[in-house]
């Protein structure tokens, strides 16, 4: 796939505005892509649903903002799940005018009902044959997922921020690869766009963070350049501690850190594995040629704090991740925006080896991991 095969973001916006489907490519890492056929939901017809079901072959889904989902009383299927999980809500059906619900006409009616300007919760029933996904506040600036891409595109087109979409599968029922996706787009005369380009477009025009303070500070671990950011949607402050000179072409030691009272202030340890404390992270970065610690200024909820205590006591059933459910998927996008603003490209991450596909949309690549040790770094 070459740049000549890919449409500009302006063309994608125009296609959405005129009710035409496009093929969106989501970077899955190592030059691999997932493709989805997507369009503005308010223009979706039975013919479009039929095309998605028969030609794209994936599950027909509906993206909406979190606010819209709450208005329609649609909770997430899994609250506080892992950051890469698709944010599906309960499936839906239109309450009136539906036969079996599975036909293209019925599914198109359900989509039309859900995105109607005067829609209310009573207009829908659950479960159903349309699968909504809730985009996070801030869209692609926070999370590079298909729900955010489609709602952002619709909003940029001046439409209700909602999209209808389906993943593209090959004839064997597997996710179509890059070559197959381009052939699919050519066969059906679809404009092709990369979600990473859409992220760059939004970063250029609508970045949700702004620098408000910066300067040199001294710590017990050495001197750092401190940059303070304010996030636009919730007004929270976030902090970047930079050591050395950042070169986007060279690996930078990075830690994106959300404060934990028990871990950072009390100094508790988990039996399952070691975790990076704030002080340990800052010490490790000070020893590197260049590094950044991004401290997310997020307040721990009571439920989140109790969840951490349960893990420490060994009574929690939830898996331990680098980002706890209370911190949410927004942490990845916020950290990525800050790292991008600082000029970071390649990342040597202080953390467990996990997949961070969403970072690709921000021009960031994790090239290595450094796991925490049991002993405190001095």
Please report the domains of the chain, with CATH numbers, ordered by start residue.
3-204 (3.90.870.10), 208-370 (3.40.50.10990)
Residue 119 has phi, psi (to 5 degrees) of -65, 145
CA 270 to chain centre: 28
pLDDT at 181: 94
Of the listed ranges 96-100, 169-173, 230-234, 345-349, the one predicted with least confidence: 230-234
Distance CA 150, CA 212 (A): 31
Residue 142 has phi, psi (to 5 degrees) of -110, -40
- Give me the mean pLDDT over the 160-180 stretch: 93
Residue 101 has phi, psi (to 5 degrees) of 95, -20
Indicate the burial class of 13 (C-beta count within 10 angstroms; 0-12, 13-18, 19 or more): buried
Distance CA 332, CA 292 (A): 15
**8 Å CB contact between 245 and 255:** no
Distance CA 27, CA 60 (A): 20
**Strands 124-135, 162-167: pairing kind:** unpaired
Q: If you count them, how many residues does the chain have? A: 378
**8 Å CB contact between 304 and 324:** yes
Torsion on CA atoms 155, 157, 159, 164, rounded to nearest 10: -80
pLDDT at 178: 82
Q: Would you give the DSSP letter of residue 135?
A: E
Widest distance between CA atoms in the chain: 69
Q: Would you give the DSSP letter of residue 264?
A: I
pLDDT over threshold 60, residue 329? no
Banded model confidence at residue 247, pLDDT cuts 50, 70, 90: very high
pLDDT at 31: 63
pLDDT over threshold 70, residue 176? yes
| 127 cis-preceded (ω within 30 degrees of 0) | yes
Q: What pTM was computed for the model?
A: 0.69
**8 Å CB contact between 153 and 16:** yes
CA distance readout (Å), 233 to 206, 228, 230, 299, 311: 11, 16, 9, 15, 31
- Render pLDDT for 29-87 as a digit per residue (tens, 0 to 9): 556 789 999 999 999 999 999 999 999 999 999 999 999 999 999 998 876 544 446 78
Distance CA 152, CA 16 (A): 11
Banded model confidence at residue 361, pLDDT cuts 50, 70, 90: low
CA 100, 102, 107, 113 dihedral sign is positive
Structure tokens at 38: 């997507």
Banded model confidence at residue 320, pLDDT cuts 50, 70, 90: very low
- Render pLDDT for 14-37 as a digit per residue (tens, 0 to 9): 999 999 999 999 876 556 789 999
Rounded to 5 degrees, what angle do the CA atoms 220, 221, 227 make?
A: 100
Distance CA 166, CA 32 (A): 18
Give me the chain's average pLDDT, please: 86
Q: Is 302 strand, coil or helix?
A: helix
Banded model confidence at residue 314, pLDDT cuts 50, 70, 90: confident
Distance CA 118, CA 123 (A): 10
Residue 148 has phi, psi (to 5 degrees) of -70, -40
Of the listed ranges 79-93, 278-292, 341-355, the one predicted with least confidence: 79-93
Indicate the burial class of 20 (C-beta count within 10 angstroms; 0-12, 13-18, 19 or more): middle
């Amino acid at each position: 796939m070459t740049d000549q095969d890919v449409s500009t973001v302006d063309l994608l916006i125009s296609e959405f505005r005129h009710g035409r489907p496009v093929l969106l490519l989501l970077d899955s890492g190592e030059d691999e892509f997932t493709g989805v056929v997507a369009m503005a939901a308010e223009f979706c017809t039975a013919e479009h649903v039929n095309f998605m079901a028969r030609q794209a072959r994936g599950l027909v889904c509906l993206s909406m903002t979190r606010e819209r989902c709450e208005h329609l009383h649609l909770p997430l299927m899994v609250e506080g799940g892992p950051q890469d999980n698709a944010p599906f809500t309960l499936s839906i059906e239109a309450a009136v005018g539906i036969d079996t619900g599975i036909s293209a006409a019925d599914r198109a009616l359900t989509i039309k009902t859900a995105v109607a300007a005067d829609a209310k919760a009573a207009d829908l029933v659950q479960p159903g044959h349309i699968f909504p996904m809730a985009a996070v506040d801030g869209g692609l600036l926070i999370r590079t997922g298909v729900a955010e891409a489609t709602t952002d595109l619709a909003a940029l087109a001046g439409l209700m921020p909602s999209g209808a979409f389906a993943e593209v599968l090959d004839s064997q029922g597997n996710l179509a690869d890059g070559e197959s996706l381009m052939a699919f787009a050519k066969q059906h005369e679809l404009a092709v766009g990369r979600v990473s380009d859409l992220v760059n477009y939004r970063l250029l025009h609508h970045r949700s963070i702004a620098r408000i303070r910066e300067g040199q500070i001294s710590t017990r671990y050495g001197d750092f350049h401190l940059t303070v950011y304010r996030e636009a949607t919730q007004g929270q402050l976030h902090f970047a501690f930079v050591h050395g000179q950042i070169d986007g072409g060279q690996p930078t030691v990075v830690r994106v850190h959300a404060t934990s009272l028990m871990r950072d202030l009390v100094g508790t340890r988990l039996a399952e594995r070691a975790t990076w404390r704030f002080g340990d992270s800052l010490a490790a970065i000070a020893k590197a040629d260049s590094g950044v610690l991004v401290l997310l200024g997020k307040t721990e909820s009571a439920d989140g704090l109790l969840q951490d205590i349960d893990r420490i006591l060994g009574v929690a059933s939830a898996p331990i991740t680098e980002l706890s459910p209370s911190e949410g998927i927004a942490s990845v996008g916020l950290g990525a925006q800050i790292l991008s603003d600082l000029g970071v490209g390649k990342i040597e991450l202080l953390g467990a080896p996990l997949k961070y596909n969403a970072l690709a949309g921000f021009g960031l690549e994790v090239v290595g991991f450094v796991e925490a040790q049991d002993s405190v770094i001095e």
